[in-house]
């Protein structure tokens, strides 16, 4: 996306000078020092300064020389728009006021009034125009006009790790969904020991940083695997997404979880996720806590999250040549689990026959010949010795 050059994209100022017309200069201030055009974020204030001079309040002078009028227009760019192209004739006039004296006037705008239901997500512009008063024979002339762009507040999600998750030696793939990052911003994911806290500098997750230095907001989707090296100790950790903008550093998302890189027992897993080590209640081996069809014991054995739908994340059997095969490598660091598989041609309860693991550790491979069988079923079996 190319950077917008204000000189060819925007009409920044129109000035009209006349004998019996006031003169005006509009200046817009925001917290963003971006030099090309005033801009800010949907949750931040705007300050408009209007300098009026050459008002001539003398008897006998035309009315046009005695009054200047300030118009405030707002216009949305739409839910994903960037203002190019934009028909500024369709902006909405939301207020007007009159100046009848010379001087410097400050017009504070605590929050923008760009149309939009979700106030943090509006994007558009406000325009402040000073006009002369129209007379019987003459129109109102634009004495000065300036605009400020308003961009939405960013939001983001971390998926792959959920609150309370227990992570072993192999970390789950992360997906960071970053929406409406401010045009000049740096966004990154970091981790630190303990529960979530404000203002902590943690360890940045390699590959998570997004630096924007443009003219419009942007979305990014980042997937990260193999970041386990950021965890230098076992225990409770917090991961958060931060974004630094001209308005400060904001936390967009956070999740706290437990890291245990070796020797995760089923009891420790139950304790971390269900608050009890016992094989009963919500944490019972046969219980399917979030009703995704996968019993807790299988969630543990395959490193899944028992509190988030894990449909489709178990190993799947496939036909390879003459064999019907299921193959997988269990997550590293789990203790007290035996992996097996059984096959049946009828699904009858007493028809399941155990298979031998023919894989080379740590991979597990279970196969059954297809030939001569019209139908064939494989199932995984996880047991605690």
- Binding residues for Ca ion, rule: CB under 5 A, are 288, 292, 294
- Residue nearer to Ca ion on the CB measure, 181 or 294: 294
- Residue nearer to Ca ion on the CB measure, 92 or 309: 309
Strand 184-193 to strand 210-213: parallel, antiparallel, or no bridges (unpaired)?
A: antiparallel
The distance of closest approach from Cβ of residue 347 to Ca ion in the complex, given in angstroms and rounded to an integer, is: 21
Cα distances (angstroms) measured from residue 226 to each of 21, 32, 251, 285: 68, 36, 23, 29
The distance of closest approach from Cβ of residue 300 to Ca ion in the complex, given in angstroms and rounded to an integer, is: 10
8 A C-beta contact, residue 16 and residue 133: no
CB-count burial class (<10 Å; 0-12, 13-18, 19+) for 223: exposed
- Residue nearer to Ca ion on the CB measure, 267 or 288: 288
> Which residues lie below 8 Å from residue 242, measured CB to CB, with a gap of 6+?
187, 188, 189, 190, 249, 250, 251, 252
The distance of closest approach from Cβ of residue 167 to Ca ion in the complex, given in angstroms and rounded to an integer, is: 18
The distance of closest approach from Cβ of residue 276 to Ca ion in the complex, given in angstroms and rounded to an integer, is: 17
- Residue nearer to Ca ion on the CB measure, 301 or 355: 301
- Residue nearer to Ca ion on the CB measure, 50 or 294: 294
What is the Cα–Cα distance from 335 to 47, expressed in whole angstroms?
62
The candidate with the shortest Cα–Cα distance to 272, out of 235, 321, 319, is 235
- Residue nearer to Ca ion on the CB measure, 179 or 308: 308
What is the Cα–Cα distance from 322 to 341, expressed in whole angstroms?
18
The distance of closest approach from Cβ of residue 259 to Ca ion in the complex, given in angstroms and rounded to an integer, is: 22
The candidate with the shortest Cα–Cα distance to 122, out of 43, 30, 178, 185, is 43
- Residue nearer to Ca ion on the CB measure, 144 or 292: 292
- Residue nearer to Ca ion on the CB measure, 12 or 316: 316
- Residue nearer to Ca ion on the CB measure, 180 or 305: 305
What is the Cα–Cα distance from 232 to 135, expressed in whole angstroms?
76
Q: What dihedral angle (degrees, nearest 10) is formed by the CA atoms of 217, 218, 224, 230?
A: -10
The distance of closest approach from Cβ of residue 35 to Ca ion in the complex, given in angstroms and rounded to an integer, is: 55
The distance of closest approach from Cβ of residue 306 to Ca ion in the complex, given in angstroms and rounded to an integer, is: 5
Q: By three-state DSSP, how is residue 78 classified?
A: coil
What is the Cα–Cα distance from 258 to 236, expressed in whole angstroms?
4
- 363, two tokens: 């991979």
- Residue nearer to Ca ion on the CB measure, 55 or 298: 298
Cα distances (angstroms) measured from residue 84 to each of 87, 88, 152: 9, 11, 16
CB-count burial class (<10 Å; 0-12, 13-18, 19+) for 118: exposed
The distance of closest approach from Cβ of residue 278 to Ca ion in the complex, given in angstroms and rounded to an integer, is: 18
The distance of closest approach from Cβ of residue 298 to Ca ion in the complex, given in angstroms and rounded to an integer, is: 8
Q: By three-state DSSP, how is residue 340 classified?
A: strand
Place of tokens 């981790």: 191
The distance of closest approach from Cβ of residue 188 to Ca ion in the complex, given in angstroms and rounded to an integer, is: 33
């Amino acid at each position: 996306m190319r950077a917008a050059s204000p000189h060819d994209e925007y009409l920044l100022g129109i000035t009209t000078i006349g004998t019996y017309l006031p003169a005006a200069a509009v200046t817009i201030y925001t917290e963003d020092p971006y030099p090309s055009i005033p801009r800010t974020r949907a949750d931040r204030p705007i300050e408009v300064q209007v300098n009026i001079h050459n008002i001539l309040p003398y008897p006998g002078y035309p009315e046009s020389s005695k009054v200047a009028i300030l118009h405030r227009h707002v216009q949305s760019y739409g839910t994903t728009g960037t203002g190019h192209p934009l028909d500024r004739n369709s902006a909405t006039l939301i207020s007007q006021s009159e100046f009848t004296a010379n001087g410097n006037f400050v017009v504070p705008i605590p929050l923008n009034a760009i149309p939009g239901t979700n106030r943090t997500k509006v994007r558009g512009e406000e325009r402040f125009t000073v006009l002369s008063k129209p007379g019987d024979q003459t129109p109102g002339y634009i004495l000065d006009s300036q605009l400020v762009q308003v961009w939405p507040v960013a939001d983001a999600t971390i998926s792959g790790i959920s609150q309370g998750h227990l992570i072993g030696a192999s970390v789950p793939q992360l997906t960071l969904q970053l929406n409406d990052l401010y045009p000049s911003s740096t966004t990154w994911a970091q981790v630190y020991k303990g529960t979530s806290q404000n203002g902590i500098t943690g360890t940045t997750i390699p590959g998570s940083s997004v630096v924007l230095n443009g003219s419009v907001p942007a979305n990014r989707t980042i997937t990260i695997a193999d970041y386990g090296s950021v965890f230098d100790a076992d225990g409770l950790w917090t991961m958060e997404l931060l974004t630094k903008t001209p308005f400060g550093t904001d936390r967009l998302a956070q999740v706290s979880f437990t890291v245990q890189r070796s020797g995760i027992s089923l009891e420790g897993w139950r304790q971390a996720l269900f608050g009890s080590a016992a094989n009963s209640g919500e944490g019972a081996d046969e219980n399917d806590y979030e009703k995704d069809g996968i019993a807790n014991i299988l969630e543990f054995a395959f490193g899944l999250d028992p509190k988030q739908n894990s449909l489709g994340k178990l190993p799947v059997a496939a036909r390879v040549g003459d064999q019907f095969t299921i193959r997988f490598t269990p997550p590293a660091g789990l203790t007290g689990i035996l992996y097996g598989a059984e096959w049946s041609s009828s699904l009858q309860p007493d028809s399941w026959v155990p298979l031998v693991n023919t894989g080379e550790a740590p991979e597990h491979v279970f196969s059954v010949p297809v030939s001569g069988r019209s139908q064939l079923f494989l199932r995984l079996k996880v047991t605690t010795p």
